[in-house]
Structure 1
Amino acid sequence: MTGARGGASSDFKRDLLAQLPTLRAFAVSLCGRHDQADDLLQNTILKAWSNQESFTPGTNMKAWLFRILRNDFYSELRVRGRELPDSDGHHTAQLSVQPDQHAALDLKDFARALEALPNDQREAIVLVGASGFSYEEAADICGCPVGTLKSRVNRARAGLRERLSLAEDDDFGPDAAFHAAGRPAKSG
């Protein structure tokens, strides 16, 4: 830097360095921990240095620096308030998402197993399990007694479990639509 700007920059640097002890003391009083206070102080210095053109020479640098430090501290508190402490990774592990390829393969297996069912069973399980109709509504749509439709749905569920090699209480796939096909429909 040359000329007046170079002189202003060295004045800024000198004034900034002169405020470090009081800034650090203020940071410690806010944070309560020396390591966090040092991080806060470092962020304050970096922000002040990168925004020195917004500082008006001749005004109160101490107040300007304290305001930067204070604003940075409260911004960090707001961010931390929205974060969940998870040092052991327990919560993160629960948020994991199954890879798409498993669901795609499960869906293909399910579609093949569904297609292999007899037409009357496939129709019944789709109406009750996937479309959400009650047994009575599905029986009315199929033109058969409710007991016949319940029997078709039960045989379809058993056929799907057998074709997919699932135990009675196994879930199939990560999607709720798969689970709905295996649960009894609500009556009424």
Structure 2
Amino acid sequence: MLRSFFGSRKRIEKLIPDLKAYAVALCGDRDLADDLVQEAITRALEANKALKAADDLRPWLFRVLRNYYFDEQRKRSVRREYFTQEKRWVSENSEQSLDPEDIIAIKDAYETLSADHREVLALVDILGMRYQEVADLLDISSGTVMSRVSRGRQALLSKLVGPSQKQKRDNVVKFPLEKS
């Protein structure tokens, strides 16, 4: 085991210049390229993947670097899109700004949620990640993510809306449907 680790490490060290060149070609930034190479090597060493042949290491490392780069690009794009939508929503609803008391109430209610609900709400509602991304990250099914998001939102709403307001909401008179 120890011999294979140091053997892989030496082979990886030989590939660093090629990995850096490829990373620069992908992103166009030397500093970011260094970060990409470092992350790819870290992932490779952590994976401890038994490759069938020594020649398989090079393409595998390049694939790890490429996948990591595109994953990060996709995450940035999703976050950018989320913040753009958030800014648009805030500007549209600027006259409906929250009072400091409301902000504190929301934070307090959020803190009382279970860890599972806080986690998925943070990833989906705050960071804007997709359900499948969260499912992959947490190693659970996307259905479980959807369920936790729904239950977390319901729990948060019930903590924010007192029993008297909930009762008012339940007592709303609904108009009957018109018969044709």
- Give 1 or 2 for the bigger CA radius of gyration: 1
Larger RCO, structure (CA 8 Å, separation 6 or more): 1
| The structure with more helix, counted as a fraction of residues | 2
TM-score by length of 2: 0.48
Instruction: Normalising by structure 1, report the TM-score.
Output: 0.46
